[in-house]
Amino acid sequence: MWFFIISIVSVVFFRWVPIPVTPLMLIRCVEQKIDDKEMKLKKDWVSLDEIPNSLQLAVVCSEDQNFIKHNGFDFEAIDKAMEYNEKHKKKRGASTISQQTAKNVFLWPGRSWIRKGFEVYFTFLIETFWSKERIMEVYLNVIEMGDGIYGAQAASKTFFKKDAKYLSKNESASIAAVLPNPRKFNVGKPSAYVLKRQGWIMRQMSFWGGTLKYQETEKKEVKSKKRNIK
């Protein structure tokens, strides 16, 4: 009973409050200490208004193209991943942006069924109590984007020496291109694979027309309210 109470209260609380630190950030710091490396933890929370639409669109195109449509789980992608994994040694995941956000904020990294069960639970909670905009805002502020680098603002400052709101489409796509493995791939020194993936993301972004559907919906709602007032 206490677990359910605390978990629900935590999710509601973080609907409004920036995430101060995540389990993954702490785990990475411990790993750096054990390996006698310099302890790095670069993060700088910014609102969604300060994150360009190009980066929001880039991560949707690269990580979860049904983000606007689904309620936390992309069952079509899960089926495709299961079919692929049955035929290939290298496994393919099907986690949505909502699942990744739930895992990063409330859980620890790992592939156990217990952790996966908690991930399903917290994904359901954030999809219930948070808006898609809030999920995107949290995701782009806590996601690992490099060695000791978390979030759009820290990544933009580190790799492009400017605030995230000034990122170009090309720079946004380059950040999104490394997300599958941000410690193996480097935004500042992109490999041939990263450059190829960046190009693919740019093409996907052009198909979307440069705007996420929830932003189009917001514009329509604002126009509708204005007409009603008149």
Are β-strands 144-146 and 42-43 bridged in parallel, bridged antiparallel, or unpaired?
unpaired
For residue 149, report the phi and psi dihedrals to the nearest 5 degrees. Answer: -115, 125
Q: In terms of Cα–Cα distance, which of 159, 172, 180, 179 is closest to 53?
A: 172
> How confident is the model over 123-162, as pLDDT tens digits?
999 999 999 999 999 999 999 999 999 999 999 999 999 9
Instruction: Pick the range with the lowest mean pLDDT from 38-42, 164-168, 208-212, 220-224.
Output: 220-224
Are the C-beta atoms of 205 and 169 separated by less than 8 Å? yes
Q: CA 150, 155, 160: angle at the middle one, nearest 5?
A: 170
Quickly state the pLDDT bin for 210 (edges 50, 70, 90).
low
- Looking at every residue in the chain, the average pLDDT score rounds to 87
The tokens for 21 are 């630190």
pLDDT at 214: 66
> How confident is the model over 102-120, as pLDDT tens digits?
999 999 888 788 999 999 9
Are the C-beta atoms of 156 and 167 separated by less than 8 Å? yes
